[in-house]
């Protein structure tokens, strides 16, 4: 059984963060595709190490973190500036 609450909340928070990622005019900070690949790897490792909440038994990952990663990517692709 998949619990929908952490998935929706994680996606919404990730989506909001993804829409806020934008380049600054004076900054040399940018987010190429390699940053998102590294972020995905780190989030999957953290989600595996953290595990689900004690009463969730649907997977071995923390589903909120995985859906937050999806929200960051979707938010950056749809409303990201730059």
**Residues 49, 39, 81, CA angle at the centre, nearest 5°?**
145
4 has a pLDDT exceeding 90: no
What does the pLDDT read at residue 82?
56
Write down the pTM of the prediction: 0.77
What are the tens digits of pLDDT across the range 18-55?
888 776 677 666 777 888 899 899 999 998 888 877 77
| Band of pLDDT at residue 76, cut at 50, 70 and 90 | confident
Ordered alpha helix ranges (H), 21-81 = 33-50, 63-79
Per-domain residue ranges of the chain: 4-16+31-79
Burial bucket for residue 80 (CB in 10 Å: 0-12, 13-18, 19+)? middle
């Amino acid at each position: 059984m998949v619990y929908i609450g952490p998935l929706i909340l994680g996606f919404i928070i990730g989506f909001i963060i993804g829409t806020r990622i934008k380049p600054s005019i004076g900054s040399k900070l940018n987010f190429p595709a390699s940053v998102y690949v590294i972020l995905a790897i780190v989030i999957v490792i953290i989600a595996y190490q953290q595990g689900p909440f004690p009463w969730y038994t649907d997977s071995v990952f923390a589903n909120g973190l995985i859906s937050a990663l999806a929200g960051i990517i979707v938010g950056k692709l749809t409303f990201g500036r730059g």
